[in-house]
Amino acid sequence: MTDTPQPGATLANGWQWTAPFAQLGPAFHAPMQLQPLPKPYWVGFSACAAQLVGLDATTPTNPAWLDVLAGNALAAATQPVSTVYSGHQFGMWAGQLGDGRAILLGEVVPPAGVNSPAQEVQLKGAGLTPFSRSGDGRAVLRSSIREFLCSEAMHALGIPTTRALGVVGSPEPVYREQAETAAVVTRLAPSFIRFGHFEHFSHHGLHGELRTLANYVIDRFYPQCRTATSYQANPYANLLAAVSERTAELLARWQAVGFCHGVMNTDNMSILGLTIDYGPFQFMDGFDLNHICNHSDHQGRYAYARQPQVAYWNLYALGQALLPLIGDEHLVEQALTPYQTLFPVALDRRMAAKLGLAQVAEGQRELVSALLRLMQAERVDWTIFWRRLSDCVDAGGPGDTRAAQPVRDLFLDSDGINHWLLQFLEHGKQHSRGLDASLMLKANPAYVLRNHLAELAIQSAQRSEFTELHRLQSVLEHPFTAQTGMERYSDFAPDWAQSLTISCSS
């Protein structure tokens, strides 16, 4: 292996590489030389994500692709850069941040016949960048596996997300709280632009660059903002409103599935409304409105119940960054109202589906609130409850004693859950189409990436055993389908899982 990554001309594979972000100018990024990863090996690969860029499941059999995704060779025509951004972290202005270990290779226009938008290809963990600050530019195997699995699991759940093409490992030591080994995860997205990109240029008074960035995002991803007549036909106010709408839908999906992001800083918020930067995330086990998944979040800023409000706070920060372009503080405030209006509507719609209702019905919020109080009191498992309720409706309904027993078994407060089940039954009767089990089974997954499942896969991978990781990945690709022989992946978290701590260290 050479010390300097070499062009991999044989890897064109019909790809048409472009570099639109790199062409914005030197204020937006720094050109990069990738740092070779010693003795790379395959850890995981997503054939599903590979389809977005015209690859197939045979890719891991090609040693040349291993070198490219390790950062040891450059695919032909790539222009590697790392981007600069700033942001608020835990509510405080953090100043300049940037891609401290992420390197954007460029953008792939998929081959003919591939129904996908162009995808940016980014290597996370490929070495030092000018924005690494005191870091080493590497990612560890542990966090790379978590991001890989969760990116693909979220996609299978129907939640907007960046994607993960694959993970490459290496015996190279990396030091965090303890010595670990290095890895590179290849990420895909139409764009990795964050709220923090806009904050960076606005904070430094670089309004020309701010306008260039906003125009780029509008022209590439929100062209309707050019012609919309809302918000005084101001394209930048319309951009803020459009991002607010996407963010509202994203947060509703997170809350409905019990997903906690853990680090909702403005630099971790996607301008496209994607879930981005999988650090100390968690799918809740026992339901707790105040659940904190990030061991570093000492004040609970990013607790589960606070996520919707934090998203609005972040949108407000984006609005302030866009103010020099919008030109009117009142117009900024107006452009944020779609989030406040649409989030509760989107969440109601998600909860209706979880309850088996084709549309939101009168009294639904009260029914859900009563349920959440019961679940909160006993920390009832979020995913298991909803799946058992779905199976109950599918097997005869809450009025059928035998069908409802697995749901009742989750609660010590038998009177409380019995009363709620009666309310649920009556609610269904009042709905014109009744309770729809098929709708529930499509809205309530049997499998999510619980922390202990990820931990078991990581421990095996650290011993160079990848069967568990691949099996878990396969299960998570079909989260709504009960899979024979895979019951342990839908079971309760073991007691030892309570001692797992997930922090920002990766």
- pTM for the structure as a whole: 0.95
Instruction: Give the tokens for residue 147.
Output: 């991001």
Catalytic residues: 267
How many Å apart are CA 272 and CA 212, to the nearest integer?
Answer: 17
Which residues have a Cβ under 8 Å from the Cβ of 260 and sit 6 or more positions away?
Answer: 254, 281, 282, 283, 284, 291, 292, 293, 302, 303, 304, 307
Task: Give pLDDT tens digits along the chain (506 positions).
Answer: 335 555 443 444 556 788 999 999 999 999 998 889 999 999 999 999 999 998 888 989 889 899 999 999 887 778 899 999 999 999 999 999 999 999 999 999 877 777 788 999 999 999 999 999 888 999 999 999 999 999 999 999 999 999 999 999 999 999 988 899 999 999 999 999 999 999 999 999 999 999 999 999 999 999 999 999 999 999 999 999 999 999 999 999 999 999 999 999 999 999 999 999 999 999 999 999 999 999 998 999 999 999 999 999 999 999 999 999 999 999 999 999 999 999 999 999 999 999 999 999 899 999 999 999 999 999 999 999 999 999 999 999 999 999 999 999 999 999 999 999 999 999 998 876 889 999 999 999 999 999 999 999 999 999 999 999 999 999 999 999 999 999 999 999 999 988 888 876 66
Which amino acid, residue 62?
Answer: N
Q: Are 202 and 318 in contact (CB under 8 A)?
A: no
Burial class, 496, CB count within 10 angstroms (exposed 0-12 / middle 13-18 / buried 19+): exposed
